[in-house]
Amino acid sequence: MTTPSGISVSITRILAVQPYGMFVQWMVKKPVASGVYRFWIARSGGSAGPWEEVAADLQDKFCFIDRFDRPEDLVDGVRRPNQLALLRQFYYRVQMLAPNGERDEYVTDADPPIDRKSAQHWRRALKNFQDTMRLTGRPCLVLKRRRWGKRCPKCTDAVLREPIKSSCIVCWGTGFEGGFWTPVLMRAHRSGAGDEQTNTPEGRSDTRAVTIKMQSYPDVERDDVVVFLVDRRRFLVDRVSIPEVMGNGTHQSIMATEIPALNIVQRFPIEQDAMGGLL
């Protein structure tokens, strides 16, 4: 379903994350309206409901962790999950209220459409990778680039709706106020790589390309930023591939380059108490 202006919402990722619950991520397509987008998240045991609202009036968010902390039983016909139920089938619904008043919603199944035996192999591989990251991964932050919201009044072209000033500290070169969503705390593995020399208008510069492996959430896209907390180095995502087992992704393999010291993104502030997520 789409609104008259073409704005729509869709769920891009639902993943069982032990021992937390379900990680739900969404995106807004054709965000022609500038302003605050609001979201409501609901869970059900079937696509037709009944629905239990698990998050209401989320603003300035692109993801939500549905934490399972109650025994599984039926309360008013709604299945209440716990950690032992992470492999059960659930449906999620996201409802959006756009800044121009238009509404949209999206419903999807949390489980991949594969047979039981294949699903067991995939879930085993998924859990093995998650366990590996918890043991050997380095703590890092994923800075998701804003792609909807309130457009920057200082440097966004009114016609093209594109940023025209890469050094703006209001939007940090993204064209949207704030620049990046609340950081998501993760663990990831970063490979070593050699320096590469590139020619820029200012002259030759050195860049450092790396491969980063992390879990399948949040969905990382080109121009997102990964910050490793141990050495405070920041990397700009160039491309992402998804290794698969039984046709379903197990983790993300990210090609990224280190952000130069003079790049405006190096000055983006990170507040420890504002971190949105997991470790």
Domains, the chain, ranges and CATH? 8-111 (2.60.40.10), 136-145+180-274 (2.40.10)
Q: Which residues pair with 203 in a beta bridge?
A: 200
Rounded CA gap, 5 and 28, in Å?
Answer: 13
Summarised one tens digit per residue, pLDDT across range 218-244 is: 999 999 999 999 999 999 999 999 988
Asked whether residue 63 carries a pLDDT value surpassing 90, the answer given is yes
Q: Of 13-17, 55-59, 71-75, 164-168, where does the model show the most confidence? A: 55-59
**Per-residue model confidence (pLDDT) at position 206:** 54
Rounded CA gap, 217 and 78, in Å?
Answer: 26
Q: Which residue has the higher pLDDT, 134 or 146?
A: 146
Predicted confidence band of residue 245 (pLDDT cuts 50, 70, 90): confident
Q: Phi, psi at residue 210, to the nearest 5°?
A: -140, 165
**Per-residue model confidence (pLDDT) at position 8:** 95
**Per-residue model confidence (pLDDT) at position 74:** 43
Q: Which range has the worst mean pLDDT, 1-5, 35-39, 52-56, 224-228?
A: 1-5
Tell me what percent of the residues of the chain surpass a pLDDT of 70: 76
Predicted confidence band of residue 2 (pLDDT cuts 50, 70, 90): low
